[in-house]
Amino acid sequence: MPARIIDGKAIATELRAAVAAQVQRIAALGVVPGLAVVLVGENPASAVYVRNKSKQTVEAGMRSFDHKLPEDAPENEVLTLVEKLNADPAVHGILVQLPLPQQIDSQKVLNAIDPAKDVDGFHPVNAGRLSTGLPALTPGTPLGCIHLAKSVHRSLEGMEAVVVGRSNIVGKPLFQLLLNENATVTVAHSRTRDLPAVCRRADLLFAAVGRPEMIRRDWIKPGATVIDVGINRITGADGKNRIVGDVAYAEAAEVAGAITPVPGGVGPMTIACLLVNTVRAACAIHGLPKPAV
């Protein structure tokens, strides 16, 4: 039986509607969440992403503050802007779009963001809080992955989960979130021995590698739920460019129980979860109860 397709686009639309309802609720109490996005330089992919973020922020009823700096902006200018945003009471979330130009130390900039406004969840304080089980702002992509897995399985408890990839922005926080869901988690990476056999153990398989269609049909346990984080641009046999994931989708869909497409799976969830984090940050900063998203 072909796999159920997990419609990330539809699930993200529902989540954004839930965010908008929470924004309305707290706006009635006098708090309008505000998200500031800092873009340095002209990277076209980043510019598109930032535009989408701003549009969806406004559509959810929040304030969006866009800050564009030139490609050659010195590190100090970015740090000064972050300090200004930290101090601005209208701003509840700060996101510095990565990658930053090479003259800027990204980690230094991320470390300068007030952890209470760190809606990307990349600050070491939030990473540490997540790993010690304290409430934390958590990166949007892994949050989105959990959301998608839970659209298939009401509970992930006791399930065998395999995460391929151990980056700070996807693999590691996903590992922590899966542990919090009481899954049994294996994190695989480029030095893992016999990766296909490790993947075949998974009831829940998450691919966050950045290698086009690396995960093949025979790596997948029949009936498994497959969540593909990968976004890879390739040139097809017809000479046209297209985007594929880290999983060979067509063949994987013949054995998986449920699978996310690329595009239209994890991608749309990342911005929706960023909006969730912005509402959560606004509530925490103003001492309001945690929102129901």
| Nearer of residues 161 and 283 to ligand NAP, judged by Cβ | 161
Backbone phi and psi for residue 83, each to the nearest 5 degrees, phi listed first: -60, -40
Beta bridge mates, 278: none
| Nearer of residues 9 and 211 to ligand NAP, judged by Cβ | 211
| Nearer of residues 4 and 211 to ligand NAP, judged by Cβ | 211
Q: Which residue has the tokens 């046999």?
A: 237
Task: Name the helix (H) or strand (E) containing 5.
Answer: strand 4-5
Considering only residues 18 through 77, tell me which ones interact with ligand NAP, judged by CB under 6 A: none
What is the rounded CA–CA span in Å between residue 207 and residue 226? 8
* Amino acid (one-letter) located at 204: L
Start-to-end Cα distance in the chain:
34
229 sits near ligand NAP (criterion: CB under 6 A): yes
What is the rounded CA–CA span in Å between residue 72 and residue 285? 34
- Tokens representing 43? 């990277």
Give yes or no: 88 in active site.
no
In the complex, the smallest distance separating the C-beta of residue 162 from ligand NAP, rounded to whole angstroms, is 11
Give yes or no: 97 in active site.
yes
Give yes or no: 53 in active site.
yes
In the complex, the smallest distance separating the C-beta of residue 76 from ligand NAP, rounded to whole angstroms, is 27
243 sits near ligand NAP (criterion: CB under 6 A): no
259 Cβ neighbours under 8 A, 6+ residues apart: 3, 4, 5, 6, 225, 226, 228, 247, 249, 252, 253
Q: Of the listed 22, 56, 117, 120, which one is catalytic?
A: 120
Q: Of the listed 97, 114, 172, 221, which one is catalytic?
A: 97
Contact 199, 219 (CB under 8 A): yes
| Nearer of residues 72 and 218 to ligand NAP, judged by Cβ | 218
In the complex, the smallest distance separating the C-beta of residue 1 from ligand NAP, rounded to whole angstroms, is 27
In the complex, the smallest distance separating the C-beta of residue 74 from ligand NAP, rounded to whole angstroms, is 26
Considering only residues 145 through 204, tell me which ones interact with ligand NAP, judged by CB under 6 A: 164-167, 169-171, 188-192, 195
Q: Which residue is nearest to ligand NAP (CB)?
A: 167
| Nearer of residues 79 and 231 to ligand NAP, judged by Cβ | 231
The count of other CB atoms within 10 Å of the CB of residue 228 is 30
Contact 110, 222 (CB under 8 A): no
In the complex, the smallest distance separating the C-beta of residue 195 from ligand NAP, rounded to whole angstroms, is 6
User: Catalytic amino acids?
Assistant: 53, 97, 120
Note the residues at the interface with ligand NAP (CB under 6 A): 141, 164-167, 169-171, 188-192, 195, 208-211, 229-232, 266-267, 270
